[in-house]
Amino acid sequence: MDVVAFTRQLVDIESITGNEAAVGEALYRELAGLGYHVRKMPVEGDRFNVLATVPNEPHPAVVFSTHMDTVPPFIPSSEDGSRLFGRGSCDAKGIIAIQIAAAEKLRQAGIRVGLLFLVAEERDSTGAKKANEQPIGSRFLINGEPTENRVALASKGTLRVELVASGKMAHSAYPELGESAIDKLIVALTRLRAMRLPETDGIGPCTVNVGLIEGGRAPNVIPDHAKAHLLYRLVGPTEALRKEIVETVGELARVDFYLEIPFMRFRSVDGLPTMIAAYTTDIPALGNWGEPLLVGPGSIHVAHTDSEYVDKNQLADAVDVYCTITRKLLASP
């Protein structure tokens, strides 16, 4: 398989989260043409995961997995001598291509693996959650995200927090007659940003991003409502962190914790370089698919940017990395 050409074909199929059906159909046809037993796992509406296994091997010990969806906006493919550009080139359509190529290379050597391509990773891992209800008995799951072909020893978790501040409307000429929800929110956010966040040796610090702020009605109205959404990147358990967040905010705003994806540690692989992933993946939602590993070509630093790209040499090298890891896993007790 020409992984560069196939990656470009996939990149040129727009598959922003919620619109993965077309790329799913393309993968279904490609894998069926290669002789795999291919199954569509319905997720929602016309969206589905794609599961492929080699005929007469419905329960492979190793499954390769990554996601089909991308973040907006759609950016078509292009390339120069060393790089392939476009939305999803490294996150994660290049990874789909190398996983299929590695599976084919292993099959030629008599080693059969499964392939699992998922929807909705970029939003809420709905595809992974659906797949977790239908495991096939694999011992290992090699999940693909951009790690520059280094094996991740851990991935940070995610804690999403909503702050809602309430106040009282008044004419802005008479602020003493009102109560500003925005003022309360600003104070709460200032306190949270000054909090000392936990650190874990070998992993690094927990970090926080104030990603969304909204509130108010007009410049000449004292605001009675304000809201902010924060995202913490986790490096351990959250019980103490949650308690401190609530205590720090106090009576300034209501605190709602509406999503948590746990911090994860993974095994190393002898002879391969390692890294720490500061982002989250589908892995926490795929616990029934075997012991997880995390590795893939491309840099997370260019994912989700206007200039997203993957190095062509990394794509080629990734095929061998996946084959090497698979052989080592199958040789382990």
Q: Indicate the burial class of 307 (C-beta count within 10 angstroms; 0-12, 13-18, 19 or more).
A: exposed
**What is the bridge-based pairing of β-strands 62-67 and 114-118?**
parallel
- The candidate with the shortest Cα–Cα distance to 116, out of 270, 299, 280, 292, is 292
Distance CA 113, CA 53 (A): 7
Quick one: tokens of 272?
């391969």
- Asked if 143 and 293 touch (Cβ cutoff 8 Å), the reply is yes
Active site residues: 121
- The candidate with the shortest Cα–Cα distance to 282, out of 158, 184, 173, is 158
Intra-chain end-to-end CA distance of the chain, in Å? 32
- Asked if 213 and 228 touch (Cβ cutoff 8 Å), the reply is yes
Beta bridge mates, 261: 158
Q: How far is CA 111 from the centre of its chain?
A: 28
Quick one: tokens of 225?
């409502």
